[in-house]
Structure 1
Amino acid sequence: MSKTILITGTSSGYGKATAEHFLRSGWNVIATMRRPDPDVFDAPISRLRVLPLDVTSEQNIAVLIEAAGPIDVLVNNAGIGGVGAFEAMPMSLIRQLFATNTIGVMAMCQAVIPQMRERRSGMIVNVTSSVTLGEFPLAAAYTASKQAVEGFTASLAHELRYFGVGARLVEPGYAPTTKFGANAVVPVQDLLLGEYAEFALPILEAFARPTLMTRETDVAEAIWAAVHDTTEQLRFPAGADAVALAEAHSQADCASLFGSKGVNSEAGA
């Protein structure tokens, strides 16, 4: 019998690529998005269900879990971006970041854990970012929302292991082809005070011309590896830039990737 994976944030980018990857491999896929659009995927497939989900709504999550039925794997991919000077970011927008990127992940985990614990099987994969692997300027609040998920998942993995349930992290790098910018809470130019312009310009230019980057398929493959992992490995960097950062991080040498005025163009986000 085919297993079932539930993936949040599948309207584009990493989530869509992951849904397609698992569909090609014979899985049943529940693809969720705020505004369901089956046409996102190339052709109707009997093993695919596209369902509505707002991860910031507990009621919406409860309705989804009831409709979904048994879930073997949960992938928390839904998220919003936030790039700009922290000084210029209203607290209301910071709360939005945490509501989706952090609390939304926790709420989805809490919703599926009971059935996985009862079955003594299951896997949760939380998608964060390579900002957790290096110090990225102009991403303070966003980084905090993703770092919180890293700590949460590391602790959760210990709790769930006792019941035969896994928890893993996938850390994607920077992929210009995704809609990260489009999903930002406000455009970056609105979160740059004039005083930050000179500092920010070389950083933004570097991100516009990355020499190492992440492909959507890199993330789908990393999620596949995390789902099938039997070694208790917690973190799975995804993409050439994320892998480079992870290797530097493991050597306590992340600082070497950054200049005094900004971020190296090889850094991912």
Structure 2
Amino acid sequence: MNTVLITGCSSGYGLATARRFLDKGWNVVATMRTPRESVLPMSRALRILPLDVTDAGSIAAAIDAAGPIDVLVNNAGIGVVGAFEATPMSHVRRVFETNTFGVMAMTQAVIPQMRARRSGTIVNVTSSVALAPMPLAAAYTASKQAIEGFTGSLAHELAYFGVRARLVEPGFAPTTRFSQNTSVKVEELIPPAYADFAAPIFEAFARPAMTTREVDVAEAVWAAVHDAGETLRFPAGPDAVALYEAAGA
């Protein structure tokens, strides 16, 4: 039975993806910073492990405890909404530590075993902002676009060893979910000079024409893992698909 390790499973996309793979009969290693047994149904196929993707020791311990990993899903991430001018650099660094360096560290940790077996898939969850950057999310957009380039390059060098790298690009999610893991409140990052600019943007956020559901991302991850071709990008959600098609990606 194949094993998938998924980061950021306490809620949202990671939780939905863990459920999807469990339903399909996979062994699932669901990781989260603070493990909560109640978030997923009890199953012999499920292990819940603590993991902080910004901590090298935590990564090593989780990889060791997980055993052979057939698929890694790098889903853990944090968002920040606000004017870049008002975003503390300490928070910008925190976003990159999780969204960018955390993904790279997890990927580097699993490559040796996949390379040795000459099989495996790494799925990096980014965002549709990589195709269409949105305002008031400059730091987040930069952190995700970095992973887009990283994954594209990685796909070339790992293909030689039979290991695949894929991208899943979720579309728009409600602002409350997008910024739920940040320690900075949105209102703190909108200086008075930006108020008139930000107002219609937040109104659009509150009434999106289309949104991405958690199950959309889980389905896109499943498709990315099982695609036998050389497709790199898998948009998740109707809005992401529309952006993908408009960009001719």
TM-score of the alignment, normalized to the shorter chain, above 0.5: yes
Q: When the two structures are superposed, what TM-score results if normalisation uses the length of structure 2?
A: 0.98
Tell me the residue number matched to 1:163: 161
Check conservation: 1:55, 1:105, Cα contact below 8 A.
yes
Tell me the residue number matched to 2:233: 235
Decide which of 80, 85, 96 is 1:98's aligned counterpart: 96
What displacement does 1:177 show? 8.9
Structure 1: unaligned runs, 5 residues or longer? 252-269
What displacement does 1:185 show? 3.8
Q: What secondary structure sits across from 1:84 in the alignment?
A: coil
CA distance in 2, matches of 1:11, 1:153: 24
Q: Deviations over 1:245-266 (max 9, x none)?
A: 1111118xxxxxxxxxxxxxxx
Moved segments of 4+, more than 4 Å: none
Give the letter for the 1:149 counterpart: I
Q: Deviations over 1:27-68 (max 9, x none)?
A: 000000000001011x21110000000000011100111111
CA distance in 1, matches of 2:48, 2:162: 28
CA distance in 1, matches of 2:25, 2:84: 44
Give the letter for the 2:199 counterpart: L
Percentage identity across paired residues of the two chains: 69
Q: Deviations over 1:146-179 (max 9, x none)?
A: 0000000000000100000000000001122973
Give the letter for the 1:147 counterpart: Q
Decide which of 181, 184, 187 is 2:182's aligned counterpart: 184
Tell me the residue number matched to 2:7: 8
Tell me the residue number matched to 1:250: 248
CA distance in 2, matches of 1:154, 1:185: 31
Root mean square deviation of aligned Cα = 1.1
Structure 2: unaligned runs, 5 residues or longer? none
Give the letter for the 2:215 counterpart: T
Check conservation: 1:86, 1:141, Cα contact below 8 A.
yes
- May I ask how many residue pairs the two structures share in their alignment? 249
Give the letter for the 1:38 counterpart: E
